[in-house]
Structure 1
Amino acid sequence: MANKVKTISESLKKINEEANGFGLTRAKIVNANPEIIPNRETDSSVDHSEIVGRGNHVLEIVDLLLSATNQQLSVIPIVGMAGLGKTTVAKLVYNHELVKRHFDKIMWVCVSDDFNNKRIFREALESLTHHSSALENKNTILECLKKELQGKRYLLILDDVWNEEPMKWNTLWNCLLGINSNVGNNIILTTRSDNVAKITKTLPQHNLKKLSEDECWSIIKKKVSLNVRILLTPDLEAIGRDIAKKCGGVPLAAEVLGGTMSRKKEKSEWLAIQNNEIWNSLNGSNEMLPILKLSFDHLPSPSLKQCFAYCSIFTKDYKIYKEELIQLWMAEGFLQPSLGSCLVMEDIGNMCFDILLGNSLFQDEENDDYDNIIICKMHDLVHDLTLLVSKSKTLILNEDLVDGINLVQHLVFQSKGKSIPRIPSLKDGVWKLRTFILGNATLGNTIFNFECLRVLKLYGGSIKELPSSIGLLIHLRLLSISSTSIEALPKAITKLYNLQTLRINFCDNLKELPKDLKILINLRHIYFDGYRFSQIPKDLGQLTCLQTLQYFVVGQGTGFQIEELGCLNQLKGKLDILRLEHVKDKEASKNTKLVEKAKVYELGFYWSANREGNHNNDEEVLEGLQPHQYLKSLKIVGFGGEKFPSWMLTNDNLISIKLIGCKKCEVLPTLGLLPCLGDLEISDMDNVRSIGTKFYGNYNDGGYDKILFPCLKSLQLWLMRNLVEWTDVMEPTTMGMVFPCLKNLTIKYCEQLKSAPCHFPSLEKLEIWQTNSTTFEKISSKFTTLTSLEIGGISELASLPEQLLKNNSSLMSLKIWRCEDLVSLSPHGDVWGFYTSLRSLEIYHCKKLSCLPDGLHTLRSLEIFVVRNCPNLRSFPSLQSCISLSSLAINGCPNLISTPNLQDLHSLSSLTIRSCKRLMGLPDGLDYLTRLKYLSIGGFCEELDAFPSLSSIQHASLETLRLFGWAKLNSLPNDIQRFTTLTELLIQNFD
C-alpha cells in the first residue's frame, strides 16, 4: 500500500510540474459558505439618492400627472430597452410624495406578456385592498373595483406591457372608463415596444436613453462602497471606469457588475473582470446576457450558483417569497454548512439571498413591518440568465408534456383545472425529477414513482385529494399543499422522515392535522391556520429542529399542554399561542422558555372569549410568558387579569402593541418610555375608567426627564365603553416631549370620555366617533397639521370648532357622520377661504343641519362633495369657484328647495340629485357639463305629474343614466331617446 501511495504522489507531482509549464495555476479552495460582507439596509421603497440619470424623467412625469386633470383617463408610456430602468422610474413616481397626495388611490399591476383583462383587474383590486382575491367573474371584479374607486381619482401603473393588439387594449380602456367617471385619472405604462406606446398613449411618451459612462461608474462606485474592506485606489478606479464603459449605458449591467466587484478586494480580481473574454463576444441585441453571465461566473461558491440557477423554476415577474425560496434551496441540498460550522442551513440561505440581492440579481424587494425582506423579483433578463445557467434542467409547461425530457430535474406545470399532464414512460431510472410544482390539476399516482423527488408543491382548488402513495417519496424535503381543496391528509404522510418543510395553510376544507406529526423529527418549518383547529398534533415538543410554528393551540391532555413549546429552542418569527385558559399556572407558562427564544419577534397571547370558569391565574400565566428582549410585536387578547406583567415595561425593542378585550384590567401599563413603539392599539377594555400619568411614564418631583412615546405614529382607542378621563402630562413645560411623531389618532366608541389631551404636534389624521362635543373640542383645540378629519356621532356638536377650522388650512379630507345636533359646519363662513387643499367634503345623516356655509364656493381644489340624508337642509350654496369638482351627490334631503347653478363646474363627471321631495326641477347649468358621464336623478316633488325635461343635458358624453320616479308619474321623459351613448340605464318607481 505504501508503494502504491508513493507512486500516486509522484504522478501527481509530475502532472503539477507539467501544468505549471503551460501557465496553469493551483485553484483556490472554495469554501462551502460564500464570503460575507456587512449586510446593506434595504426597503421596498426607492431612495431618490440611489437613482442615477433618471431624476429629470421622474420630475417630468410627476408634472404631467399633476397637470393632466382635464381628461377622464390619460396614459403616459415609459419606453426603453431591457435594463434601462423603466420599472425603477415608475416606482419612483409611484412613491413620490406629490403623487400620493394628488391621487386618492394608486394601483400597481405587473402585466408581462399575459395581457389578460380579468387578471389585470383582479390584481388592481388586490393592489387596492391589500388582500388576495379569489374572484373569477370579470363583472364581479369590475363591480368591486367600481366600488373602491367611486368618486376617487386614481393612478394605475401597468408594468412591463407587451400587448400590441389594439382590440385588447380598447377592451381594457373601455372597462376603466366605465369603472370611474371622474376626470384626472392616469395610467403609467412601461414597455420595451414603441408599438405598444403608439396604441396606448394620450400624453407624450418618455423614452429612456442609455446612461453616460460617468453615470454607470457612479452606480458601480456606490455598490463597491458598501464593502468597507475595499480601498478604492486610483488603480481600482481606473479599472472600474473602464468596466463602466463596457456596461453600454445600461443601469442593470452596472448594478450587477457593481455587486460582483463589491466582493472583490484585490486588483487582480478587478482585472480579471476587465479583461474577461466575454467583452469580445458582445453583439448588439444580445449583449446584456453575457454581461450578466459574467456576474454569475464570479459568484463566490458553487452552491450559490446552484441556488441562483434553481430560480429558473419561477415564471417571469413572479413574486418570490424569501422564506419559501430558502426552504426550496434547503430541500435541494444546496445549503450544507461546512464541517464544524455553527451555522444552520437557513443562515447560509439568508447569506446566499443577500449576496444575490447585493449583486442585483434579485430586485424590487418588499419588507414587512419589521424591516425584514419578505419578497423579491428578478428582472426579465436575469430570469433569462437563470434559464441559461440551469442547462435545461428546468421545464415550465402549460400543456401536455413531451417525450425526451429525461434530463429535466425541475418541472413546473400550470393548468386551469385540467388533469395531470401526460408523463413519459419511465426507463431504468433515467428520470431524475427532484422538483415538481403542479397548479390546478387533478393529481394522479404516476408522480409518486419519482423516488428522487425532493420538492412537491401542489396548489389550486382542483386538487382535492392527496393519495396514500405519498409515503413512497422518502427523499421528500418540502411538501406544500397550501390553497388546495384537500379535506384529509393520508396517514402515510408521517412516513416522510426526511421532510423539512410542510405547508398546509389556506386549506379551508381540511378537517384536521396529521396526528403523528411528532414522527417527522427532521421537520423544521410547519405552516397551518391554527385558529381553524380545536386541537393540534400531540407531542410537538419532540420536533426539536422546528423553527417555524406560527400557531400553538393549548390543550389539556398530556402532549397538548403549553410545556411542549419549552423544547422548541429554534423557534423564530411569528408565534400565536391560543386557548391560554388551559394553562395551569405560572410555572407551566414559564416552561415555554419564551424568554430564551431570541428569534421569535412577533408574539400573540389569546384567551378564548367564551371560556368557562374563573380567570384567577391569568396574571401569573402572562407573567410566566415573558418573551425575549428582542421581541418586536406583542398582541394580548382576552386576558382576564387586572394588571399587566412587569416585563412589558422593559421590552425596549417593541414596535407594535395591541391590547384587546382585556375586560378586567383597570390600569393601562406604562408604555410611554418604550423607545421604539410605533403602533399602539387599545380596545374593548371595559374596566379602564382613566388613562393617567402612569400610562406615560414614572412621574416624580422633577417631572419627566425623557421624551414620551418618542416614536409612536399610530394610536387607536376602540370600544373603551367606560373610559371617562384621559389625562394630559402633568406639566405644560413637557408638552413638546409627548407624542412628537404621532400621525394617526383614532378614538371610536368611547361614549363616556369627558377629557383628553390636546397636544399632538405632528398629527395628520384624526378619526373620532361616539363621544361628546366638549371632548372633541378639547382634543382638537391645538391641532395645526391635520390633513384628514373624520367625525361621527359627536353629541351636542352644533358646529365644528372655529379654532380647528382656522388652524388646519392643509386639510384635504373632511367627513362627518351622524352628528345629529349639527346645525352648521362653522359658526362663521369666512374660514373656508383658508382651505386651498380641501379635496373631499362628505356629510352623512346630520338631521339638524339646515344650511351650508356660503364660503364653500371658494374651495377651488374640491373634487368630491357629498351630502346625504340631511332632512333639515333647505338650501345649497353657490359652487361657482369649485372648478375642480368632479363628483357632486345630494341625496335624501327632503326639505331642500333649491340647488346650485352648475354652469361653472366644467370638471363635473358624476352628478347625483335624489330623494329631495321639495325640488321642482333640475339645477341650472346642466347644458355646460360637457364631461358628465354619470347622472342619477329623481325622487322630486310629488306634486309634479311629469319628470323634468332632460333636453339640457349633454347627451354625447353620458354613459350611465339612472332615473327615479314618484307616485304621480306614469310615463318616462320623452327626451330619454337622445342618450344614444349610454352603457347603463336604470329606471325605477315609474308606475
Structure 2
Amino acid sequence: MKVSVIPFFILYIAAPFSCFLANQASSSKLRAPIMADALALVSRLLDQLDGKEEFTELTGLLRHIEPVLEDAEKRRVKEERVRVWLEKLKDVSCDIEDVLDELSTAIPKLEEETHGTKKAFVLMKVCFSRLTSCFCCSQLVNRVGQRRRIKCLRERLSVIFAESHGFRFRKYREIDQPERVGTGISTSYKLIEEPSLYGRDEDQKMLIRNLVSESSEEGVVRGPGVISIVGVGGIGKTTLAHFVYNDQKVKTHFDLRIWVCKSFSSHELRIAEEILQVIARKTKTSNLVELETLLESIRASLSGKKFLLVLDNVWDPRDADFSKGYLLWKLLRFGAAGSRILVTARTESMAKRMGATRMIHLNALSQESSWLTFRQIAFFRRDASECKQLEKIGKKIVKMCYGLPLAIKVIGGLLHFKSSRGEWESVLREMIWELGHANNISTFDLLLFSYHDLSPALRCCFSYCAIFPKDHVIERDNLIKMWMSQGFLGLSVDRNKEKEMLGQEYFMNLAMRSFFQDFERDYKGNIIKCKMHDLVHRLAQYVTRYECFITGVDCVEEPDVEGALHSTFVQAPGDYIGEPDIKGARHSTFVLAPGDAIPISTHNRKGLRTLFTLCSMNVPINPGTFVHLTCLRTLNLSRCWFKELPQEVGKFIHLRYLNLSSNDELEILPETLCDLLNLQTLLINDCMQIRKLPEGMGKLVNLRHLHLDYCFNLESLPRGIAKLTSLQTLDMLVVPCDDEEEAFKLGDLKNLNLEGYLHICRCGNLQNVTAAEKVELITRGNLVDLNLDFDWSEERRLEDKIILEALQPHPNLESLEIRKYRGTTISPDWMLRLTNLRRLILHSCPDCESLPPLGKLPSLESLEICLMNSMKKVGCEFLGIDSGGSENSSIISFPKLRELRFSSLFKWNAWVGSARSMKGDASIKIMPSLHTLEIDSCFCIKVLPYFLRKIPLQNLTINKCKILQKHCQKEKGKEWFKISHIPNIKISI
C-alpha cells in the first residue's frame, strides 16, 4: 500500500498503525516526554516521528532546532529569555508526544473490536466507517479534532523556531549520546565502594574517643552527652559521622544505634516518630499521633540501653525551638549511662542550641588529602602509566576544588569517564573559562559544572530525582522503573538493549560521579538503596525549578545559599497546602500529614506527568482527587490508606508506572485497571486486604514488572497473567485450592521469562508431584532468589518433603528461603547441587529435627536458622564432615561462610563440632572465613563448639541466652577461653 495514494484523513491514522504493527512486541516505542533536558526530548521525538509523513513539517522544524539545544541548555541558567523559550519548546514537544501516544494506544483496542486481527486494511476499514469517532474507545477526539490539534502544534512550533533566530545560538553538529558515558561500565555495584576518609584521621579518632568514653565532663547533665560535628555544606560532616557510626568499636560499645536525618522536618512529633520507627525497625508509619505517647514508647525501648542517636543535618533556624522543647531533654534521660547524641550542624551557634557541649569543627582538606580523595575516584581501574600521564593536569584541577570533599568527589567522578589527556585538558580549560572568574568557587558551582558534562539522558535521570524530598531513601530498582516510565531510557544506540539494563548503567554512572551516596547493599553487595547529598539534591531542584515541585508540611529549604533556587516551601502543621506559581510544572510531590488536603489548583495541572505522594502518620488520601490528571506517566499512591481505586483509573492511558503498595486498607482493584495498555510497572505488594486481581490482567501486554509480594490474603492469580510475555518480574505466585479452576497454575509459569526473585506462596496446596514439577524451576537460570513458603494450612494432600523435592531450582540459584516447612528433615537431593548458593534462610520449620550437611555448599556466605522448635542438636553432620571418613582426607567445612545466625531455637541445647578437629587434625578446616556469629533467644544452649577457638571471628553477639551468657562471662565463664580472641563481643540479656 503506497502512502501517496491514501487520503490525508486515512494517512494520519494509518501511519501510526503501521508503526505499531511493525513494533507490536514493544509498543513502548512511543514513550513519554523527557522534561529535564530539551535536547533529549527533541532527539527522541525525532526518533518517534521518523517515517510518519503526516508529521513531516513538525519533523523538519524539530531537526532545525535540535543543533542549538546544547547551547540553549547551558545559557538558560543565566538568561531568563532563553529559559522561557526552552519551556515553550518542551511544552509543545510534550503535546506532540501525547498525540502520538494516544494514537498508538488506540490500536490494541481497535484490534480487540476486530477480533484480534492485525491486518492494516481491516483496521483502516473500521476507522473509515467511523469517521467522526474512530478513536472513541480511547477517549480521543474525532478526525477533524485530531487534524486541528496537529495544525495547532505545527503553528506553535513554527513560532518557537522563528524566535530561536534572535538568540544567536551556537550550533552543535554532532550531539553526544549517553553511550559516551554508559557503554562498558560494569553493572556490578561492588565497583562503587565508599571512598576512604582522607584528612580526617584525627577528627575520627577524637570523635570515637568521645563517643565510647565512659567518663563524662558534662557534670550537671544526667545521662548522655551531646556531641556535634560542625562545618559548611559539602565539607564532609555526614561522611565523617557515617564512618564513625559504622566503626566496629562504636558498634560493639552501644546496645542500640539510631540514625535520623532531620533536614526535612523540625517538628518534635515527626522526629520522635522517626526515632521510634528506627528503634522498632518498622517500615510503616506509626499510629501514634501524640508526642507524649511517642516519647513513652521511645522510653520503653531505650530504658536500660546504652544508645547512640545521630541527628544528621541540623541547620533550620527553627531548630532553636526544637531544642527549647524537651524532646532531646527527655531522650537524655531515657538511656543507660554512656549513651550519646551526635549532631551534625552547619554553625556553632546551631550546635549550641541543640545542647552540644563538645564540638568537632571540620575545615577544608589539605592539598595532599584533596589529591588522595580525587585520585581514588578519577584513577579507578587505570593503569599506572596512564595515571602518571594525567597526574599533573589532575593536580591543577584539584586546586580549583579548594579542599571541598564533595566537590572533589564529583569532579573526580566526572574525570573518571574521560579517557584521554586531551579530554582532561579540555575539562581544565572549561573550568578556568566558566569558573575562573569567580572570586570564591563554591561546591554548588562545581556541581553545576559537572551536571552540564552529563549526556542529555543522564541529565534527565539525575534531575528527575528532584521529585524526592531531601534525605529521602531512594530505592534503586524503583527509580529505574520510574525513569523508564518517563522515557528516559530510550536514547540508546543499541536498540536491543533492555531498558532495565540501560537504567542500571545510568544509575552506576551517576553513583560513580557521587551524585548518589549512603548506599545500602544486599547480601551480594549490590546497591539497593541510596540517598543524595543535600547540595546535590539542591542542584536537581535548581535545574528543574520550573518543572518539578514539592509541596507539604515542613518542606523547608535552607535560606538562599550559593545562589540556588528552590521549589519547596514552608507550611505550618494542619494548614491547607498551597503551592508555588509554576504554570509549566510537570512533576509534583505531595508530603502530607494529618489535617492536610490536596491543593485545589492540582485540578488545573492536567499536564502533570508525575504525581508522588508521601503520607505521614496514616494520612488517608482519596485517589478520586487525581482522576482528572489523565496525562500522568508515573503515579505513586503508596501508603495512602484508601480502600478502593476509582473506576476512572482506566482513563490514564499514558500511565507506565503505578505504585499502590503498602495500602493496608485497599481491598479491590477495578477491572478498568486492565485498560492501561501502556502500563509497564504495577506495584501492589504489601496490600494485605486484596484477595483477587482483575480478571482482565492478560490485556496488559506491555507489563514488565508485577510486584505482589506480601499480599498474603491473595487467593490466586488470574489465568490471563500467563499471556503477559513481556513480564520479567512476578515476585509472588499463589498456589490455588482445588476450586480455583480459572486461576494461574504453576504450569503457566513456563510461558513467562521471569528474572530475579520469586516467592511461591502456599506450596502446601500442591496436590501431586506432577503439579509441582510443572513449575520447571530447574530450567529457570535467570531466577537467582527463591522463597518457598509452605504456609500453615492444616490440610496437606502431599508431604512437604515430596513437594520440596519436586521444586528443584536451577543450579544458578544464589539465595534460597524455606519457610513453614513441616518435614522432619530439610535435605532434598538437589540442595547440595546448588554450588552458586550464597545465602540460605531456614525459617519456621517446627518439625525439623536436624540440619542437612550445609558445610558442603562451596559458595555459601550467609546462613540463618530460625524458629525450629524440634531441633535439639547441631552436630558434625551440619558441618558436612563424615565421622567415619579417612584420617588423611582434607576437608574445608563452610569455606566461604561469613555470617551465621541462630535465632529462637527454644529446645537447642547442644552444638558440637568434629572430633577430628578437637584432636588438632590440621586436615580439617571449619568456617575459616566466618566474620560474624549471632545467637539470639536460644534459651537452652550451654556450650559452644571447640572449633570457634581457631576461627578468625570478628564479631560475636549473644542475646537472650541466659545460660550461655553466664558461661561466656569475661575471664570467669567456662566458655570464655573459646571466644576470648574475638575483638568485638556483645552479650546482652
Report the counterpart of residue 607 of structure 2 in structure 1.
432
CA contact (8 A) 1:743 1:762 kept: no
Deviations 1:377-414 (A, max 9, x none): 11111111112222511011125456863311101122
> Per the alignment, do residues 632 and 725 of structure 1 end up closer, same or farther by CA in structure 2, a change over 3 Å counting?
closer
In the TM superposition, residue 155 of structure 1 has moved relative to its aligned partner by 1.5
Aligned equivalents of 1:596, 1:376: Cα separation in 2:
34
| Partner secondary structure for residue 737 of structure 1 | strand
In the TM superposition, residue 342 of structure 1 has moved relative to its aligned partner by 3.9
Which of 488, 494, 501 pairs up with 1:347? 501
CA contact (8 A) 2:847 2:868 kept: no
Equivalent residues in 2 for 1:139-218 (5 A)? 139-164=292-317, 165-172=319-326, 175-177=329-331, 179-180=333-334, 182-218=336-372
Aligned equivalents of 1:718, 1:337: Cα separation in 2:
52
State yes or no: 1:238 paired with 2:392: yes
Which of 744, 752, 770 pairs up with 1:560? 744
Equivalent residues in 2 for 1:573-652 (5 A)? 574-616=757-799, 618-619=801-802, 622-640=805-823, 644-652=827-835
Aligned equivalents of 2:402, 2:817: Cα separation in 1:
50
> Per the alignment, do residues 694 and 446 of structure 1 end up closer, same or farther by CA in structure 2, a change over 3 Å counting?
closer
Residue type of the partner of 1:86? K
Which of 708, 714, 728 pairs up with 2:914? 728
Report the counterpart of residue 443 of structure 1 in structure 2.
622
Aligned equivalents of 1:802, 1:357: Cα separation in 2:
49
Deviations 1:879-930 (A, max 9, x none): xxxxxxxxxxxxxxxxxxxxxxxxxxxxxxxxxxxxxxxxxxxxxxxxxxxx
Report the counterpart of residue 823 of structure 1 in structure 2.
none
Aligned equivalents of 1:801, 1:205: Cα separation in 2:
37
Q: Which has the higher helix share?
A: 2
| Partner secondary structure for residue 403 of structure 2 | coil
| Partner secondary structure for residue 395 of structure 1 | strand
Equivalent residues in 2 for 1:297-312 (5 A)? 297-299=452-454, 301-312=455-466
Aligned equivalents of 1:787, 1:600: Cα separation in 2:
33
CA contact (8 A) 1:125 1:145 kept: yes
Equivalent residues in 2 for 1:283-432 (5 A)? 283-284=439-440, 287-299=442-454, 301-336=455-490, 338=492, 341-390=495-544, 392-398=546-552, 400-401=577-578, 405-416=582-593, 417-423=595-601, 431-432=606-607
Which of 538, 542, 567 pairs up with 2:719? 538
Structure 2: tracts of 5 or more residues without a match: 5-59, 72-168, 553-575
Deviations 1:437-474 (A, max 9, x none): 23446436463333321011124445444221111011
> Per the alignment, do residues 273 and 599 of structure 1 end up closer, same or farther by CA in structure 2, a change over 3 Å counting?
same
CA contact (8 A) 1:247 1:254 kept: yes
Report the counterpart of residue 870 of structure 1 in structure 2.
none
State yes or no: 1:53 paired with 2:177: no
Aligned equivalents of 2:456, 2:966: Cα separation in 1:
73
CA contact (8 A) 2:608 2:629 kept: yes
Aligned equivalents of 1:396, 1:754: Cα separation in 2:
56
Equivalent residues in 2 for 1:825-904 (5 A)? none
Residue type of the partner of 1:804? K
Aligned equivalents of 1:414, 1:661: Cα separation in 2:
39
Aligned equivalents of 2:203, 2:971: Cα separation in 1:
44
Aligned equivalents of 2:602, 2:869: Cα separation in 1:
64
More moved, 243-252 vs 691-700: 691-700
> Per the alignment, do residues 158 and 491 of structure 1 end up closer, same or farther by CA in structure 2, a change over 3 Å counting?
same
Report the counterpart of residue 119 of structure 1 in structure 2.
270
Aligned equivalents of 1:57, 1:796: Cα separation in 2:
38
Deviations 1:575-598 (A, max 9, x none): 221222333444443332323433
In the TM superposition, residue 88 of structure 1 has moved relative to its aligned partner by 0.5
Report the counterpart of residue 290 of structure 2 in structure 1.
137
CA contact (8 A) 2:302 2:335 kept: no
Residue type of the partner of 1:696? G
Which of 704, 710, 732 pairs up with 2:895? 710
Report the counterpart of residue 271 of structure 1 in structure 2.
425
Bigger relative contact order (CA 8 A; separation at least 6): 2
Aligned equivalents of 1:640, 1:838: Cα separation in 2:
35
Report the counterpart of residue 654 of structure 2 in structure 1.
475
Report the counterpart of residue 246 of structure 2 in structure 1.
95
Aligned equivalents of 1:748, 1:234: Cα separation in 2:
56
Aligned equivalents of 2:587, 2:975: Cα separation in 1:
64
Q: TM-score, normalised by structure 1?
A: 0.71
> Per the alignment, do residues 372 and 504 of structure 1 end up closer, same or farther by CA in structure 2, a change over 3 Å counting?
same
| Partner secondary structure for residue 294 of structure 2 | helix
Deviations 1:769-812 (A, max 9, x none): xxxxxxxxxxxxxxx99774754479999x99976166379599
Report the counterpart of residue 151 of structure 2 in structure 1.
none
Equivalent residues in 2 for 1:460-471 (5 A)? 460-461=639-640, 463-471=642-650
> Per the alignment, do residues 624 and 37 of structure 1 end up closer, same or farther by CA in structure 2, a change over 3 Å counting?
same
| Partner secondary structure for residue 405 of structure 1 | coil
Aligned equivalents of 1:644, 1:837: Cα separation in 2:
34
| Partner secondary structure for residue 131 of structure 1 | coil
Deviations 1:574-629 (A, max 9, x none): 32212223334444433323234334332111223333245357426533432342
In the TM superposition, residue 543 of structure 1 has moved relative to its aligned partner by 2.0
More moved, 695-704 vs 108-117: 695-704
Query: Size of the alignment, in residue pairs?
Result: 779
CA contact (8 A) 1:43 1:367 kept: no
Residue type of the partner of 2:731? Q
| Partner secondary structure for residue 804 of structure 1 | coil
Report the counterpart of residue 853 of structure 2 in structure 1.
670
Residue type of the partner of 1:531? F
Aligned equivalents of 1:796, 1:57: Cα separation in 2:
38
In the TM superposition, residue 506 of structure 1 has moved relative to its aligned partner by 3.4
Aligned equivalents of 1:460, 1:44: Cα separation in 2:
34
State yes or no: 1:550 paired with 2:731: yes
Report the counterpart of residue 569 of structure 1 in structure 2.
753
Which has the greater radius of gyration? 1
Report the counterpart of residue 27 of structure 1 in structure 2.
174
In the TM superposition, residue 39 of structure 1 has moved relative to its aligned partner by 4.1
Which of 237, 242, 260 pairs up with 1:86? 237
CA contact (8 A) 1:663 1:685 kept: yes
More moved, 677-686 vs 103-112: 677-686
CA contact (8 A) 1:46 1:95 kept: no
CA contact (8 A) 2:717 2:743 kept: no
Deviations 1:242-285 (A, max 9, x none): 1101112111111001001000012221122111122135354x
Aligned equivalents of 1:252, 1:689: Cα separation in 2:
53
Aligned equivalents of 2:625, 2:958: Cα separation in 1:
60
Residue type of the partner of 2:669? L
Aligned equivalents of 1:233, 1:748: Cα separation in 2:
53
Report the counterpart of residue 401 of structure 2 in structure 1.
247
> Per the alignment, do residues 330 and 761 of structure 1 end up closer, same or farther by CA in structure 2, a change over 3 Å counting?
same
Residue type of the partner of 2:450? S
Which of 280, 303, 306 pairs up with 2:436? 280
Report the counterpart of residue 109 of structure 1 in structure 2.
260
Residue type of the partner of 1:36? T
> Per the alignment, do residues 119 and 230 of structure 1 end up closer, same or farther by CA in structure 2, a change over 3 Å counting?
farther
